[in-house]
Structure formats: C-alpha cells, structure tokens
Amino acid sequence: MALVKLNNNGVKDATAFGSITGLGNLILIKKQTASGSASISFVDGASSVVLDNTYKEYIFYFNNIHPATNSANLQFQASTNTGSSYGIAITSSYFQAQHAEDDSEAALEYDGGQDLAQSTNFQTILGKEVGNGNDNSTSGFMHLFDPSNTTFVKHFISRGNCLDAGPMTRDGYAAGYVNTTSAIDAIQFKMSSGNMDAGTISLYGVV
C-alpha cells in the first residue's frame, strides 16, 4: 500500500488537508500535548487559538489520550466568557458498543449514565472507563458547529474508542447541544478523575 503524502509531507506533518468526499478542507489551528495535565483548554485569542466566526465548524482530534487514573472518561465543557468559567447547560445522548478481548462480553447499548439533561456538568465524549495501563488510551474526534452563532444553540457530535481496564474495547458516540445562544469562545477537556498524562488534542477549522 502506497504511503499517502500531502504537499510532499507525511500525514502526521501536514497542517492542512484537502477536501475528502466533499466535506471541506481542514486547517490546523492548534495542537496541544498532555503531560500531567489537569485540563487542556482552547480559548479564542489565546496562544494562537481561533474559535470564532472564522469557521462554521471546528473539529477536535484526540490521539492516544492516556489517563493517570484508572477507569476515567474524557469530558468537555464550554465557555462564553473566554474560559473564566465552564458550566453551560448541556443536553445529550450517549451510545456505546463494547467487546471484551476474551469474547466474554459484547453489547450495543444506550448509556444513561453518560448523557446529560440540561446539566452544567462536563460531558463524556469518548469511550468511557479508559484504563491507565501502559498500553491503554482513547482516541477519536469531536465536531463543534457554528460556535459564534448568536441565534441558535451549539450542536456537537463526538466519536471515540478506548481500551479499558477490562481489557475491553469501548466505542462511544455522544451528540447533543450546548444550550446557549451566546457565542462559545472556549472549550475545555479533562478526565472525569485525575490528570491526562499523555496524548495530543488538535483543533482544526473546516473551510
């Protein structure tokens, strides 16, 4: 299989991706690396971050996020005051598929423990209960639509997979809306408990 190159660079070194199946171009805005991090925030106007009306859609990519604490979930919340506070009401749904390595368990289910109903808590967005073993991690993505719009609520969709402490694969899907008509100008990610001690989160704008 041939190696895919973008502008004569490997995929890992690319800063922009061309249109794929008409979905638009992805422009890298900011990449942050976790290292004993209690949280990672993307705040419009801070450290070269753009999270405004420049783009109608933003995508966050998570690569091998490793928790310091066993069985922790990757979560997010939003801010309308450049990160001074995170706690806007969210309503969401959460589904997951799971399968144990020894084939002892397999399921596809709605997880009412991870959804929110007008809650200001942080929303779980990737496979839950990520293990903290040496080879455990979670990876995936989250779409945030039109965060600067001041007419409608702000919709998000996420999907991710993790290796939990089972060991088991968990494929999680979350979708919902942040219930504000104010412009969202900051997003924060954290684990449900403990720190993120490895992995990267990259923010892209969709042209």
pLDDT band with cut points at 50, 70 and 90 for residue 19 = very low
Predicted local distance difference test score (pLDDT) of residue 26: 97
Mean pLDDT of the region 156-161: 96
pLDDT of 1 higher than 70: no
Phi, psi of 12 (to 5 degrees): -65, -20
Is 136 a residue whose pLDDT tops 80?
Answer: yes
The angle formed by the CA atoms of residues 79, 176 and 138, to the nearest 5 degrees, is 80
Q: Is the pLDDT of residue 22 over 90?
A: no
15: region left, alpha or beta (phi > 0 left; psi from -120 to 50 alpha): alpha
Q: What is the number of alpha carbons within 13 Å of residue 29 lying toward its C-beta? A: 26
Residue 31 pLDDT greater than 70, yes or no: yes
Q: Do residues 172 and 25 make contact, with C-beta atoms less than 8 angstroms apart?
A: no
- The Cα 76–Cα 147 span in angstroms is 14
